[in-house]
Amino acid sequence: MPKTKRYVIHADVEEKKAPPIAFQLSEEFIRGAGEPQEVLLFIPQLGSFPDALEEALGKAASRRLKENGFVRFKDQGKLRLETRRTFKKWKGPANIVIGIYVTKEMLDQIDSTRNSKAVIIVPWHMDDLTGWVSKWNPEIISGPKDEQS
């Protein structure tokens, strides 16, 4: 069984840039697979769908995602939306899991998935990931140094 690659988009990355970076990483995995893939987008709750996420996906795709629970993803698979509540009912493995503003409970749920090629986390605060980062040693993707103060 191939090892799951894990990434964290550091909280120092500007909020509106973090989801596009996560999607870019997932697209790299999709291109390498050569077959349709499923990307699981995992958020705390539907009512807190982040503006930065809507901006990255576009209004029409975000609306379809919230209404239907999935949209076609770059003609190479499906983007499925799950929340803390619905994730418990979700059974299948996703090729790629993107967690947005995850809690410890959500990290445990993500860790319960099997056969994912990649897990990409966009945290609200890095402190929320302390134990998870120690356990998995993910690649940390930081913002450009020249934009930091």
Q: What are phi and psi of 66, to 5 degrees?
A: -70, -35
Please tell me whether residue 85 adopts helix, strand or coil conformation: helix
The CATH number of domain 5-143, selected from 3.40.50.720, 3.40.50.300, 3.10.450.50, 3.30.1120.10: 3.40.50.300
Contact status, residue 138 vs residue 121, Cβ threshold 8 Å? yes
For residue 5, what pLDDT is reported?
92
Q: How confident is the model over 12-33, as pLDDT tens digits? A: 999 899 999 999 898 888 777 6
For residue 144, what pLDDT is reported?
61
- Burial zone of 110 (CB within 10 Å; 0-12 exposed, 13-18 middle, 19+ buried): buried
User: The pTM is what?
Assistant: 0.88
CA distance 78 to 61: 12
CA distance 110 to 22: 16
Q: How confident is the model over 136-145, as pLDDT tens digits? A: 999 999 876 5
| Domain residue extents for the chain | 5-143
For residue 112, what pLDDT is reported?
85
Half-sphere exposure of 117 (CA within 13 A, CB side): 14
**Residue closest to 56 by CA, chosen among 33, 31, 39:** 39
For residue 90, what pLDDT is reported?
63
Residues of the chain with confidence (pLDDT) below 50: 1, 146-149
